[in-house]
């Protein structure tokens, strides 16, 4: 199994926990902490040779049928990625690989283990997992699911409590170390400090791995909060420099995408499937992988505004980023609709064989959605559902469902 994902989303921790509860023996090899381990994978691809080399380096014990071998930071050892096929064929031990930037160094991997490797993309906690962390019972989550599936409001008290959890989640986010810090320390400044450490570590990764694109990748990354705060939220490369375009910034954008730090939402000019056929790669919005990190990058005590009920800050960018992240965590690719700068819709996802439209409203005027109304008047035959996510209770008007924002976890 290969676990992909951004730095510090908890990949290493969860593999260790899985090994602790399922295997008598666990061998962990981190190619960044121990660069010498790469030598075990140089030359011969023979499984017995590789295991012997690792054993003589002090890794082990390797007990047949009872050992999980964890190859961490595998992006730093392309030969190990190639060798997985032969290690899997050998069959004596189980393997988990983990890393990030795995799309960047694909040219260095001489042969991918096609058919021998299952892949999982790992993200920060989603809102349902945040509720677990708050000891919210499965019974409550089942009530949310039942209300979502059967189209009725939550109990008013439950709704208010869930919105409080939602607002707290916006500012804390789902990075595991940040969540742990928040629950173990009543001083929120410690939570904010942990968020800023992660942001700085991402900047260090850019400096270390982005090679010739590091200056542009850093400029791109640092611009995400400001670009999201604009009314129309589309990421404008000429805002970074007058001559900015995809020819200049395409590699930097790809780096941030592969690193899992940024979530790209591409324009589609038609309500038709498949989205890829109508995608414009030159028009896109960029969200951060985590709303807590986004708040930390904004600064200005935004956290206190959100906790006090103001989720409409910065043109509603925070709520829109929350929905983008939830959709990504649940396996959706991100697309927005805009045709000739008319009738822009926040998100499109595929449900059944049609398109579901998702509009995100953070303010009190959530029933005003001229773009959605126009599209439904003109192209309703392509639409499966129309959803408006907002801070109020469920209701339905005509063919539009109004759902509380926390129900994004059900999409």
For 122, other C-beta atoms within 10 Å of its C-beta total 16
pLDDT per residue as tens digits for the range 181-222: 999 998 999 999 999 999 999 999 998 888 788 999 999 999
E strands, 78-131, in order: 94-99, 119-121
Q: What is the pLDDT of residue 107?
A: 47
For residues 195 and 293, the answer to whether their CB atoms sit within 8 Å is yes
pLDDT per residue as tens digits for the range 70-107: 999 998 999 999 999 999 999 999 999 998 876 545 44
Q: Residue 41: which pLDDT band, with cuts at 50, 70 and 90? A: very high
β-strand pairing of 2-4 with 262-268: unpaired
Straight-line distance from the first to the last Cα atom of the chain, in angstroms, rounded to the nearest whole number: 26
- List the structure tokens of 21: 């509860």
Kindly report the three-state secondary structure assignment for every residue of 156-206: HHHHHHHHHHHHHHHHHCCCHHHHHHHHHCCCHHHHHHHHHHHHHHHHHHH
> Model-level pTM?
0.93
Average pLDDT, the chain: 93
């Amino acid at each position: 199994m290969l676990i992909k994902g951004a730095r510090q989303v908890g990949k290493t921790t969860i593999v260790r926990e899985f090994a602790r509860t399922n295997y008598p023996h666990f061998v962990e090899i981190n190619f960044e902490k121990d660069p010498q381990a790469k030598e075990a994978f140089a030359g011969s691809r023979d499984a017995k040779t590789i295991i012997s080399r690792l054993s003589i380096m002090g890794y082990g014990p390797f007990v047949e049928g009872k050992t999980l071998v964890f190859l961490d930071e595998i992006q730093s050892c392309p030969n190990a990625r190639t060798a997985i096929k032969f290690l899997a064929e050998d069959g004596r031990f189980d393997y988990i690989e983990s890393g990030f930037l795995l799309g960047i160094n694909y040219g260095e991997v001489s042969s991918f283990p096609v058919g021998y490797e299952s892949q999982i993309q790992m993200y920060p906690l989603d809102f349902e997992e945040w509720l677990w962390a708050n000891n919210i019972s499965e019974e409550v989550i089942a009530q949310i699911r039942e209300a979502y599936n059967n189209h009725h409001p939550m109990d008013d008290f439950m709704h208010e409590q869930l919105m409080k959890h939602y607002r707290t989640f916006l500012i804390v986010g789902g990075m595991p170390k940040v969540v742990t810090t928040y629950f173990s320390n009543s001083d929120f400044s410690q939570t904010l400090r942990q968020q800023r450490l992660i942001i700085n570590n991402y900047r260090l990764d850019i400096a270390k791995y982005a090679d010739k694109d590091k200056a542009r990748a850093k400029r791109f990354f640092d611009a995400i909060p400001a670009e999201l705060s604009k009314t129309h939220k589309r990421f404008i490369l000429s805002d970074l420099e007058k001559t900015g375009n995809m020819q200049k910034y395409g590699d930097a954008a790809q780096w941030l995408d592969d690193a899992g730090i940024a979530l790209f939402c591409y324009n589609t000019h038609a309500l038709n499937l498949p989205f890829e056929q109508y995608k414009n790669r030159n028009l896109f919005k960029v969200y951060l992988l985590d709303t807590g990190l986004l708040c930390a990058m904004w600064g200005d005590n935004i956290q206190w505004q959100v906790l006090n009920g103001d989720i409409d800050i910065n043109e509603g960018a925070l709520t829109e980023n929350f929905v983008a992240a939830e959709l990504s965590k649940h396996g959706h690719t991100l697309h927005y609709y805009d045709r000739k700068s008319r009738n822009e819709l926040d998100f499109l996802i595929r449900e059944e064989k049609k398109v579901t439209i998702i509009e995100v409203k953070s303010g009190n005027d959530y029933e005003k959605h001229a773009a959605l109304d126009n599209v439904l008047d003109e192209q309703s035959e392509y639409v499966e559902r129309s959803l408006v996510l907002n801070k109020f209770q469920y209701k339905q008007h005509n063919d539009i469902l109004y759902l509380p924002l926390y129900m994004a976890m059900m999409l």
